[in-house]
A and B are shown apart, each in its own frame.
Chain A
Amino acid sequence: MPWDRNQMAERAAAELEDGTYVNLGIGIPTLVSNYVGDKDITLQSENGMLGMGPFPFEGDEDPDLINAGKQTITELPRTAYFDSATSFGMIRGGKIAAAILGAMEVAENGDLANWMIPGKLVKGMGGAMDLVAGVQKVVVVMDHQNKAGESKVLKECTLPLTGTGVVDRIITNLGVLDVVDGGLKIVELADGVTEEQLRDATEATIV
């Protein structure tokens, strides 16, 4: 059986090193915080916060306390607030150890597309371009194929790029792939998924 959303998030959590500051994107990446276990991880929210806590209890919502997905959240004893320029200073400056992000397409050279579908979806890149350009390690978590069954792991991205050569590791429902010289390298297969199945579902070069 391929991994479900929670299993993908659990696998992605294993990428995070104890004692680091990390940024989690919207969607499956948000679930990663449920699986950090005993590791001491500080979550950055790029709207201006380090030390993001869980959702508030009903009735405790504070309009001044939201995350980058505009959801109400809480603070922790370690929390620090700062302005947006400072927030992206720490992102661009390489102080954030890892970003775990969703994607529409990833290419074998590490190119990432996750912000725009021309003529269809015009929402904007938000902080994604700054994150992929600045953080030390970029991990993409996404389904291996789109709803039409086409590979999202490509030789070349077809959508407008978020960054070039920025992705280090790809975690999908079928397994884990690293971006290496000449293409992608299989690091791990999801439970019950064969190498052949993963190769068949992948358009990119697997070395």
Chain B
Amino acid sequence: MKKIYGSAAEALDGLLFDGMFIAAGGFGLCGIPELLLQAIKDAGTRDMTFASNNAGVDDFGIGILLQSRQVKKMISSYVGENKEFMRQYLSGELELEFNPQGTLAERMRAGGAGIPGFYTKTGVGTQIAEGKEHKDFDGETYILERGMFADLSIVKAWKADETGNLVFRKAARNFNPPAATCGKVCVVEVEEIVPTGSLDPDHIHLPGVYVHRIIQGEHEKRIEQRTVRKREEA
């Protein structure tokens, strides 16, 4: 069971193809698989569909794949931070499917759990519900949403052991666990690979059964909105 690879390019070898569907973790620029995204850009894979809550900013995250026109379609809940995205979408070069944030997370979770569809009241009576099956349960209306099954999951964790057990850090967990579960193959980038046995089994956030390939690397971890308060004088 060899899961550790030397680089992002090695870890993605044999997994990329034109027209593929990738589920990516991260929220804004927090907890995004920045090294794997760069390697996908370098590989030149085209016409990809990405399920990712956001689309990065112009020069970081999925934004770098938009710049190079490698993305055909985004499935996201919020894309307000990316001007190049807006330009490509408004000119018809890029397809966009808005999913409510919780519906997107649940579609990933459900797909990873072998559930092809679920009913939710999120979006009932809005554009999101158009064309979807409606069903009443106990006097309330719900819509059918589909579980998501991706060709590849790319996620970022804080630590992995050699068997792929993962620990995330603070709010960088976000979409990473559900995204990790819904792909046929899951590639993870971490800040540190630790020896098997050194993580407390009670504190594993995502078990290694979901993880196929791991790389360790240096992360820029860019901050999107730096907000601070002044230190009071002692």
Q: Which residues of A contact B (CB under 8 A)?
A: 45-49, 54-73, 75, 81-85, 87-89, 91-92, 111, 122-130, 133-134, 160-165
Residues in A with CB closer than 8 Å to B105 are: 83-85, 87-88
Which among B76, B100, B231 is the interface contact of A57 at CB below 8 angstroms?
Answer: B231
Q: When the two chains form their complex, are residues B121 and A83 in contact, meaning their CB atoms are under 8 A apart? A: no
Which among B104, B124, B170 is the interface contact of A75 at CB below 8 angstroms?
Answer: B170
Would you give 9 A-B contacts (Cβ < 8 Å), ordered by A? A55-B229, A64-B170, A83-B175, A85-B106, A122-B86, A129-B126, A133-B122, A162-B126, A164-B124
Other A-B pairs, 6, CB within 8 Å; known A64-B221, A85-B105, A123-B79: A47-B28, A49-B170, A57-B228, A88-B102, A88-B106, A92-B102
Q: When the two chains form their complex, are residues B29 and A70 in contact, meaning their CB atoms are under 8 A apart? A: yes
Residues in A with CB closer than 8 Å to B80 are: 123-124
Q: Which residues of B contact A (CB under 8 A)?
A: 27-31, 53, 76-81, 86, 89-90, 96, 98, 100-106, 108-109, 120-128, 158, 168-178, 205, 221-231
What is the bound-complex CA distance between A66 and B122, given in angstroms? 25
- Count, A-B residue pairs, CB within 8 A: 181
Residues in B with CB closer than 8 Å to A162 are: 126
Nearest CB of B to A43, in Å:
13
Which among B96, B122, B205, B225 is the interface contact of A130 at CB below 8 angstroms?
Answer: B122
Nearest CB of B to A152, in Å:
18
Nearest CB of B to A139, in Å:
19
A63-B221, A164-B125 known; A91 vs B102 contact (CB < 8 Å): yes
Residues in A with CB closer than 8 Å to B230 are: 57-58
Considering the complex of A and B, which 9 residue pairs feature the smallest CB-CB distances, nearest first? Answer: A88-B102, A164-B125, A123-B80, A130-B102, A124-B78, A84-B105, A63-B221, A85-B109, A129-B100
Nearest CB of B to A72, in Å:
5
What is the bound-complex CA distance between A84 and B182, given in angstroms? 14
Q: When the two chains form their complex, are residues B170 and A81 in contact, meaning their CB atoms are under 8 A apart? A: yes
Q: When the two chains form their complex, are residues A133 and B101 in contact, meaning their CB atoms are under 8 A apart? A: no
Q: When the two chains form their complex, are residues B120 and A92 in contact, meaning their CB atoms are under 8 A apart? A: yes
Closest to B55 in A: A124
What is the bound-complex CA distance between A60 and B100, given in angstroms? 32
Residues in A with CB closer than 8 Å to B124 are: 133, 163-164
Residues in A with CB closer than 8 Å to B86 are: 122
